[in-house]
Amino acid sequence: MLPEYLSQVKKLVLKKIHISIGNSNLIEDVMSYSALADSKMIRAGLVFASSETNNNLHKESVTTLAAAVELMHTYSLIHDDLPCMDDDDLRRNQPSTHIKYGEANAVLAGDALQALAYEIISEDIHLDSNEKVHSIKTLSKACGKNGMVYGQFLDIENENNQNIDQNMLDEIHNLKTGKLIECSVMLGLIGGDLKKEEIDFFEVFSKQIGLAFQITDDILDITQSEEVLGKNKNSDIKNSKITYIDILGLDAAKNKAKELIVLAIEAMNAFDIQGRDRLMDIAKYLVSRQN
């Protein structure tokens, strides 16, 4: 069952993160506050699920790569919540990092989590040098100037832009949200022996589920309570951001998310790849989740 699978992933990844951060100074305490808080671990789950199609990746390396993704994701959340960004004061059912520890410490903790993501990959004893370079390059490209950071830039730039259309919204969220989800799937394939055309279909799959994830987030933001979400409700409305609900309407947005998952599963079924079932289970879960 998927809940048990994600629970086991969470256990392994949190243990790795706890050991990697340590507890020798205040910045490590701030890092742990957010990185060890309860989370869905969807991105880590995608790394593990993708790795089930790859017999060449050591299980400890899977945990390392999943932890690296979650460290990077946590850094992005800490910075997204800052007053200069989305100005949210609740994350993972607890006060946002800058509320608890102050803005300066939140920025520094986010910076340190990003650096730690690369550090734990470089120290993994089961990855060879080429695999380490490939992993770090995959993660850095997903999160840098042409990935997640640029997506956040566009997101902020388009606040109060009532003329934004679906194509622009797709671009923003393919970068801001989708790139790290795509990266999570790709990291599970490191060192594998799939053919290029097979890897291409993994990329199609990951792009579709990344956008479906964001559309579902927009839906949950207006249909669920803060207690269920574990974060501020109506943050996009507060920041005058256009969402998929604004452009498509609630029912059409739900249908769009489901259509994207169908397309993602079709991509996975294009080749007879063993071990793909878990990925498809997570894809279905992304549009049925409640937070």
Cβ atoms of 176 and 250 within 8 Å: the answer is no
Predicted local confidence at residue 232, as pLDDT:
73
Predicted local confidence at residue 1, as pLDDT:
81
State both tokens at 158. 């388009």
Predicted local confidence at residue 59, as pLDDT:
97
State both tokens at 266. 């079709």
CA proximity to 198, closest of 130, 280, 268, 134: 268
Predicted local confidence at residue 190, as pLDDT:
97
CA proximity to 151, closest of 172, 134, 133: 172
Predicted local confidence at residue 200, as pLDDT:
94
Could you identify the residue written with the tokens 């890092």?
Answer: 31
The whole-angstrom separation of Cα 215 and Cα 234 is: 14
CATH no. for 2-286:
1.10.600.10
Predicted local confidence at residue 121, as pLDDT:
98
Predicted local confidence at residue 233, as pLDDT:
66
pTM beyond 0.85: yes
The whole-angstrom separation of Cα 194 and Cα 155 is: 35
Long-range contacts of 85-92 (CB under 8 A, 24+ apart): 85/152, 85/156, 86/235, 86/239, 87/238, 87/239, 88/231, 88/232, 88/235, 89/232, 90/226, 90/230, 90/231, 90/232, 91/34, 91/37, 91/230, 91/231, 92/34, 92/37, 92/38, 92/39, 92/230, 92/231
The whole-angstrom separation of Cα 217 and Cα 202 is: 22
Predicted local confidence at residue 237, as pLDDT:
72
Enumerate residue ranges in the chain where pLDDT < 50.
Answer: none
